[in-house]
């Protein structure tokens, strides 16, 4: 029987973790896609990595698969993908899913707060009514 601990361990083993500095360098090089897999209320509350695509964890397969009618054209299997969430668990699972879908170069940035604490640029949500 496989439980959450085993799923997370397998995901962490397959999807390398990167630091905020490493992610910033990859983003600056201009070829990586950054994906926020948190739920919409989390993104609305805190913002997201500047330029990141928001795809909640539950919709990832639908947005990342080019054969899906819901495919997001931001996803390209030949580009590196950096995923993150609130603590690193959902992004590890999301990264493994992307690998399973044929994305060769996938990295787990981990927690959004680590990005912020390391001076990463953030896109803040527009206040309601503005």
Active site residues: 85
**Residues 42, 125: contact at Cβ < 8 Å?**
no
The closest alpha carbon to 23, from 36, 38, 10, belongs to 36
Distances (CA, A) of 1 to 4, 7, 28, 98: 10, 11, 42, 23
Q: Is 76 left (phi over 0), alpha (psi -120 to 50) or beta?
A: beta
| 67: Cα separation from own chain's centroid | 20
């Amino acid at each position: 029987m496989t439980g959450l601990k085993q799923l997370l361990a397998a995901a962490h083993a397959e999807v390398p973790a990167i630091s905020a500095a490493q992610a910033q360098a990859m983003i600056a090089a201009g070829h990586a896609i950054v994906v926020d897999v948190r739920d919409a209320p989390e993104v609305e509350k805190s913002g997201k990595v500047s330029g990141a695509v928001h795809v909640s964890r539950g919709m990832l397969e639908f947005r990342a698969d080019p054969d899906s009618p819901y495919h997001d054209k931001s996803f390209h299997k030949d580009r590196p993908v950096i995923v993150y969430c609130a603590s690193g668990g959902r992004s590890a699972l999301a990264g493994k899913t992307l690998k399973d879908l044929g994305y060769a170069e996938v990295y787990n940035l981990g927690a959004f707060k680590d990005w912020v604490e390391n001076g990463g640029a953030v896109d803040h949500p527009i206040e309601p009514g503005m």
